[in-house]
């Protein structure tokens, strides 16, 4: 590896690890998300990058609600459970403790924290779609540090 390699340098940009959960038209699912960032103070908003071919992406339309569950250090069980993704209609929450947000969105009881979000905008961003969402609620579930992810290369997961 060259010390001037931009892919290696880009891979050192740290990100958190999150599970995006949603309920839409009676179906529930979740997916691992690592490209999440706060992008506004007033109103509080976050951005989430999602691959266009992920089944969840079709549900993240203007006005849709979802939860961002912040994984705490050591929660590799949740990371493994949601890391592979789920096909449409496949049960995503078997064996996982779930609570409900006010609108029925599934929230992971064992997450470090969660944010309740509503989509306010979208934009193509290279090989991902960038979803902008207003934070409408949320809370800490416990004390601890969030799980952080650093990649070897900024050109792949």
Residues whose CB is less than 8 angstroms from the CB of residue 126 and which lie 6 or more positions away in sequence, other chains included: none
Are 145 and 139 contacting, i.e. CB atoms less than 8 angstroms apart? no
Q: Model's pTM, two decimal places? A: 0.94
Are 50 and 60 contacting, i.e. CB atoms less than 8 angstroms apart? yes
The CATH number of domain 16-143, selected from 3.30.70.1400, 2.30.110.10, 3.20.20.70, 2.60.40.10 = 2.30.110.10
Kindly tell me the burial class for residue 133, based on how many C-beta atoms sit within 10 Å of its own C-beta (0-12, 13-18, 19 or more).
buried
What ranges do the domains of the chain cover? Answer: 16-143
Mean of all residue pLDDT scores within the chain? 94
120-130 per-position pLDDT tens digit:
999 999 999 99
């Amino acid at each position: 590896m060259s010390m001037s390699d931009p892919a290696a340098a880009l891979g050192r940009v740290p990100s958190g690890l999150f599970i995006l959960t949603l309920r839409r038209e009676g179906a529930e699912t979740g997916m691992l998300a690592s490209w999440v960032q706060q992008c506004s103070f007033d109103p509080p908003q976050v951005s989430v990058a999602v691959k266009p071919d992920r089944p969840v992406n079709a549900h993240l339309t203007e006005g849709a609600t979802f939860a961002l569950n912040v994984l705490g250090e050591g929660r590799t069980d949740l990371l493994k459970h949601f890391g592979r993704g789920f096909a449409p209609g496949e049960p995503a929450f078997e064996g996982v403790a779930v609570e409900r947000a006010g609108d029925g969105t599934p929230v992971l009881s064992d997450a470090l924290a969660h944010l309740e979000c509503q989509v306010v905008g979208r934009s193509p961003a290279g090989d991902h779609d960038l979803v902008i969402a207003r934070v409408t609620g949320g809370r800490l579930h416990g004390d601890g540090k969030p799980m952080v992810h650093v990649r070897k290369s900024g050109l792949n997961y």
